[in-house]
């Protein structure tokens, strides 16, 4: 007779670096994203929020998140220690914290709760997107948001920066609808879609507050 596995055994562990998620070179990355503060603001991050920058890389968006969250705080999580060291050097703000860890095991590393989990330019490479969505849902406050920045689902040859095609291979790119479908089993509902020219979009979804939950956090009202 098969033994009853413990709850621990039913939760798969970390999976390591996701495929096709290497940190881009700064020259074309900064050309593509010249104003990360404007991006973060457009995606609804504002003063007082508790934000997790999931797969923060070298901190290009983490620093902007910290500036926009003001009196709140930002935690950057990444599995690459060298990138994390660069992110730390760039975000001296005391409201910014960094954790080394796997995005599939967020709760072990930074349990939250967070008002926003922000994931930029990484979701396309996650092999088990439904499981990632469950991991995100587990650290969000009721009514909290999952914000995903993705490359548009266009042919890679069309997304040219500094004279060369950039970004993940065409087959890995997801439409907003496909992204939503991949995470919907974790209970996320679509809130807003933001166009981020020239080649990206931001999908904002939220985890509905339980009917008997107290009011949403102040920052989200």
Ligand X SMILES: C[S@@+](CC[C@H](N)C(=O)[O-])C[C@H]1O[C@@H](n2cnc3c(N)ncnc32)[C@H](O)[C@@H]1O
List residues near ligand X by CB under 6 A: 15, 17-18, 21, 23-24, 55-57, 60-61, 78-80, 83, 102-104, 120-122
Q: Indicate the SS3 state at residue 147.
A: strand
C-beta of 209: minimal distance to ligand X in Å? 27
3-class SS letters over 185-202:
HHCCEEEEEEEECCCEEE
C-beta of 3: minimal distance to ligand X in Å? 30
C-beta of 2: minimal distance to ligand X in Å? 30
Nearer to ligand X by Cβ, of 18 and 73: the residue is: 18
Other Cβ atoms within 10 Å of 55 Cβ, number: 25
Long-range contacts of 25-31 (CB under 8 A, 24+ apart): 26/58, 27/162, 28/161, 28/162, 28/164, 28/166, 29/60, 30/60, 31/161, 31/162
Nearer to ligand X by Cβ, of 43 and 104: the residue is: 104
C-beta of 84: minimal distance to ligand X in Å? 8
Q: Is 151 exposed, middle or buried (0-12, 13-18, 19+ CB in 10 A)?
A: buried
Nearer to ligand X by Cβ, of 21 and 179: the residue is: 21
C-beta of 172: minimal distance to ligand X in Å? 12
Nearer to ligand X by Cβ, of 68 and 83: the residue is: 83
Nearer to ligand X by Cβ, of 49 and 117: the residue is: 117
Q: Which helix (H) or strand (E) holds 34?
A: none
Residue nearest ligand X by beta-carbon distance: 57
């Amino acid at each position: 007779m098969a033994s009853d596995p413990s709850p621990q055994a039913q939760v798969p562990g970390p999976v390591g670096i996701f495929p096709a998620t290497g940190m881009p070179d700064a020259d074309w990355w900064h050309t593509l994203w010249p104003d990360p503060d404007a991006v973060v603001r457009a995606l609804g991050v504002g003063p007082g929020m508790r934000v997790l920058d999931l797969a923060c890389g070298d901190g290009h968006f983490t620093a902007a998140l910290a500036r926009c969250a003001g009196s709140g705080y930002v935690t950057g999580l990444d599995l690459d220690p060298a990138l994390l060291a660069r992110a730390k050097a760039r975000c001296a703000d005391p409201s910014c914290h960094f954790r080394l860890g796997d995005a599939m095991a967020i709760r072990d590393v930074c349990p939250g709760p967070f008002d926003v989990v922000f994931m930029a330019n990484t979701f396309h490479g996650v092999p088990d997107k439904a499981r990632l969505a469950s991991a995100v849902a587990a650290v969000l406050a009721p009514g909290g948001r999952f914000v995903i920045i993705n490359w548009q689902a266009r042919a890679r040859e069309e997304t040219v920066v500094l004279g060369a095609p950039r970004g993940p291979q065409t087959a890995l790119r997801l439409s907003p609808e496909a992204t939503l479908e991949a995470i919907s089993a974790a209970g996320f509902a679509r809130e807003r879609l933001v166009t981020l020219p020239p080649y990206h979009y931001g999908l904002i979804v939220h985890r509905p507050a339980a009917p008997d939950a107290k009011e949403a956090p102040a920052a989200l009202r």
